[in-house]
A and B are shown apart, each in its own frame.
Chain A
Amino acid sequence: MSQLRRGLARVVDFFRRRSLDRDLDEELQAHLDMAAADYRSRGLSEAEAMRQARVDLGGVAQLREARREVRGLPWLDCFLLDLKLAVRRLRKSWGLSLVSVLAMTVAIGLSTVVFAFIETVFWPKLPLPHGGRIVAVQTWHVEEGRRHATDRRDFDRWRDALETVEEIGAFRSGERQVAFGEDATRQWLAEISASAFRVAGTPPLLGRTLVEADESASAPPVAVLGWDLWSSRFAGDTSVLGEPLEIGGTSHTIVGVMPRGFAFPVNHSLWIPLRSGDATPIDPGPYGTTFARLDELATRDDLQAELSSLGTVRESTAEATFDVRAMPYTYAFTDDLEPSTVQRGLRLVVVFLVLLLLPPCANVAVLVYARIAARREEFAARFALGAGRSRIVAQLFTESLALSAVASALALAIARLVLARLEQRLGSTLDGAPPFWMDFGLSLRTTIFAVLLGVVAATVAGLWPALQATGRRMRLGSSLLGSRSVAQLGATWTFLVVVQVGASMAVLPSSVEMAWGTLRASLADPGIEADRFLTARLLPGDAASASGLDLAAWLEELRASPLVDAASASRHVPGSEAWSRLEVETDPDSGSAETSQTFSARINRVHPDFLETLEHRQLLGRGLGPGDFGSPAAVAVIDQRFAARHFAGVEPLGRRVRARSGDAARWWEIVGIVDDLPSHKLHGTLYVPALPLSDDGPADDLAVTLRLQSADSLEAAAAHLRSTTAAALPGHRLDEIRTLEEIYRRESLGDDVGALVLLLATAVVLLLSAAGMSALAAFTVQQRRHEIGVRAALGGQSSRLLYAVFRRAGMQLLLGALVGAALATFVDVYFPIEEAGGRNLPFIVPAAGALLLIVGLTAVLGPARRALRLEPVDVLRQG
């Protein structure tokens, strides 16, 4: 029988072990009966015959054990038994088990969430046929290390010349006003090459996709619907083909519907042709890119070689050179990060995540070691009965594995919740849905990562202390069962407890300040009466309605009500501004137009009186005056946070800032600084004049903000807003009528959750410290029982007794706390917490020290009471 068959037979026998045991018992009983019968026939009595038969056969239990070694999977039997014993023991010391699981869950959970996020964003596979061969082609500004818009002439050359690709196309994203019957709304759509559908390898559900003929400048406008849009707006009507759809004021004919789940190039549900005569550059990601599907035998390097030889039509200068790069498709949407940079960073992150596990597991190891040391008599007895070191270590490791398995399972559950929240968040910020390739479910890779972390955690927290505790001294000492000084809580372990205390002391102040800074907006007074501000989004109707929009008249009518103090409009609702990539001019006098690194900040285009309506206080310079609207001069006002982050130590007034969006260099000169809105905790906000209304209606979305006389008139004010809008702007409608307070609450939810997680992690660290101190104290009492008994017998006072017992441990802990306090002070002085979004609290370091002292005293209270309750006579009798 081959090895494989024998192996399989063992596996089958493992699952049949109970019935095999029953068979063996029956077989051996038959043997004994036959042997006893033979002995009876020779004249022995029944009892003697059976006794002799048993002697001849040998031990049945040993035989059963020996048979298990030969059949089945003995190692698995052993492991299951160890697991059963481990669960029993962990339930008995539920306090230690709970602390250990909490500590491991926080570490494994955090690491798993970060890994899952990285995997979703940076390591996704395109869920398209031949997704691995789809790449993005982008123009790069070499010196600045960032993407640039692609010249249409380059795209046309690539289409004609590239041989390493089967298909090539491009897209541009944008919002257009789309009329669905009587209802009009702003819709995210893609102007895209017809080849996109071939690149994606997905046929239509109904009708056809775009074809090359549709790209001609003179071709009739056509559109392809996504399944979501078709279901929600057309009720899945199959007769939609050939129907007109007004997009941006132009009638398009619907020619096809794509199947469910198709959202190429990013998260799109509406596609129109990218016209061939259009010379507008193709924006860099995420608003556009050139994409291609590699030839079957070509690699990305082959394509890169071709692109490098073709070059770009962009002219290079001394300051600016451009090249063209091919990269995995999803990297077109990960900001200005190249795959090599990301991979390097990610490798470091994964290593860091694993290392993140070490401190809490080392702390758990201290607790585990102290507990193992307290079980020394149990292990000494097992050594004496012939158990090997590996057997005992295996059992102890299994106990830790049981703990870490629970922690890994909890971590995966937490990761699942966080990913769902992230999906929701990304959906609301990325125009409705995250990119189609991002799968926010728990992948197999993430699950394996969490499991591996659990094994690492069990190794650090369980294997290491087990090896230490069952070392040579322990085994030698087993011959002196009942000896009292076999295991030592040596310098290493004491050092770890001290480090634990120091770490708690170091992180506690910063964590509390960070959490308070985040939670403050939710719990404390935001500084303005947020419930007195009513906001709403104005959704334009059809093109005819939009062109007749008289914004000023409408706002004037709103202000006419006695319920309303002030009213103004902006592109975004305050507190929900869009993020933009910006850069500031570093040295305006140099004339070199050198700019800072690109950064993210909120930006809002506002109409006149907006800042006054929101009761922004002018801190420096001036606000936006009537002359700033509609004039060629571009000015901006920034808030305090923006000034502090990006102009630290420099006068911001007179400096210029611009938005990075393709080639558009929209410079704004900063003319004033206002105070912050409560929602703008971390990143600043730039306020710029809104674009003027055009014949096609507003160029941007519109949001209205009303400052009310009183928060009690909210309902009435909302009704006034609806009725005035219906009368003044027929065909328009309002959406998301909410107070600023509701907006802040929603915006801060994610941050609040983060702050609570931070507090939880800090609490776990504190708990571990307390558990470590308690374990150290308990072990000290156990070790010095005899000494305590002698001192008590000689009439020692309780206070002196405790001082003598805990002096050394107390000094070590005090040292740890002092070092931690020094670290905390250093961090407080040199790394201002407010830059990270926290809030300074006075006397936080001494307060943290006091808290740690209370926690420490509480932790050692139990062992101290046990020490005082020791009966001298009992202790001395035990020797």
Chain B
Amino acid sequence: MPKDRSSILQGTLDLMVLKTLEQLGPLHGYGIAQRIEQVGEKALIVNQGTVYLCLVRLVQKGWVSTEWGTSDNNRRAKYYSLTRSGRRQLRLETENWHRVSGVIERVLQPVES
């Protein structure tokens, strides 16, 4: 595993999972983990197991709902989809992320001499 990969904080994983579901629609856990790896271009360490813990929390909070379905390889799998409150939460988290990352970006800018 490349040495410059960083570990994802729990809150950011929630955001990425919600965004993935918004973009791709109902998806199983493996699909979500693959998507995050693809988008992150393997720059982020995602222990695939942590995605399932994240999904459990999101279901508990009511932002994601579940349904058993059939996968592409004809296998029974649990599919996750975004709920209305999940969409609302995604919007809030995205706004928050932009605000915070903007501030951090400004702080990290070199000081003009």
Contacts and interface: CB of A to CB of B under 8 A. Distances in A.
Interface of A: 1, 6, 9, 23-24, 26-28, 30-31, 33-35, 37-38, 56-60, 62-63, 66-67, 70-71
Contacts of A38: 34
Q: Which 3 A-B pairs have the closest CB atoms?
A: A58-B49, A1-B62, A30-B77
Contact of B60 (A6, A27, A62): A6
A57 B77 contact: no
Interface in B1-48: 28-30, 33-34, 47-48
B60 A23 contact: no
B75 A30 contact: yes
A57 B49 contact: yes
A56 B48 contact: yes
Contact of B75 (A6, A33, A56): A33
Identify whether the interface residues of A are mostly helix, strand, loop, or mixed. helix
B48 A70 contact: no
Contacts of A66: 49, 53
Given A9-B60, A31-B29, A26 B76 contact: yes
B48 A34 contact: no
B87 interface: no
B49 A63 contact: yes
A121 B2 CA distance: 79
26 contacts: A1-B62, A6-B61, A9-B60, A24-B52, A27-B28, A27-B52, A27-B77, A27-B78, A28-B52, A30-B30, A30-B75, A30-B76, A30-B78, A33-B73, A34-B28, A34-B30, A34-B77, A37-B73, A38-B34, A57-B47, A57-B48, A57-B49, A58-B50, A63-B53, A67-B56, A70-B57
B101 interface: no
A1 B61 contact: yes
A67 B75 contact: no
Contacts of B50: 58
A9 B62 CA distance: 11
Contact of B28 (A30, A56, A58, A63): A30
Given A6-B60, A67-B52, A70-B53, A58 B30 contact: no
Interface string B75-108: 1111000000000000000000000000000000
Nearest to A34: B30
Contacts of A9: 60
A71 B47 CA distance: 20
A298 B8 CA distance: 69
Q: How large is the interface on B (under 10, 10 to 19, 20 to 34, 35 or more residues)?
A: 20 to 34
A31 B48 contact: yes
Contact of A34 (B53, B57, B60, B71): B71
B73 A34 contact: yes
B1 to A, nearest CB: 10
B8 to A, nearest CB: 14
A26 B48 CA distance: 16
Given A34-B28, A34-B73, A67-B52, 8 more contacts: A6-B61, A27-B28, A30-B30, A31-B48, A34-B30, A38-B34, A56-B48, A66-B49
A671 to B, nearest CB: 90
Contacts of B52: 24, 27-28, 63, 67
Interface string B54-76: 00110011100000000101011
Contact of A30 (B48, B61, B71): B71
B86 to A, nearest CB: 11
A577 B11 CA distance: 84
A30 B28 CA distance: 9
A34 B33 CA distance: 12
A31 B30 contact: yes
A1 B86 CA distance: 11
A70 B49 contact: no
Contacts of B56: 67, 70-71
A37 B50 CA distance: 21
Nearest to B37: A56
A444 B54 CA distance: 45
A31 B71 CA distance: 10
A146 to B, nearest CB: 68
B62 to A, nearest CB: 4
Contacts of A26: 76
Contacts of A57: 47-49
A38 B75 CA distance: 14
A30 B75 CA distance: 7
A28 B53 CA distance: 12
A24 B29 CA distance: 11
B60 A70 contact: yes
A879 to B, nearest CB: 44
A414 B59 CA distance: 50
Nearest to A71: B56
Given A70-B53, A70-B56, A34 B75 contact: yes
Contacts of B62: 1
Nearest to A35: B30
B109 to A, nearest CB: 37
A490 to B, nearest CB: 46
A9 B60 CA distance: 8
Contacts of A1: 60-62
Contacts of A63: 49, 52-53
Contacts of B49: 57-60, 62-63, 66
Nearest to A69: B53
Contacts of A62: 49
A58 B47 contact: yes
A28 to B, nearest CB: 7
A31 B30 CA distance: 5
A23 B71 contact: no
Contacts of B60: 1, 6, 9, 70-71
A59 B34 CA distance: 18
A28 B49 CA distance: 9
A62 B53 CA distance: 11
**Residue with the highest number of chain A CB atoms closer than 10 Å, among B52, B60, B75, B77:** B52
A135 B34 CA distance: 79
A33 B78 CA distance: 13
A31 B77 CA distance: 8
Contacts of A24: 52
B40 to A, nearest CB: 14
Contacts of A28: 52
A58 B45 CA distance: 12
Nearest to B49: A58
Nearest to A66: B53
Contacts of B61: 1, 6
Contacts of B28: 27, 30-31, 34
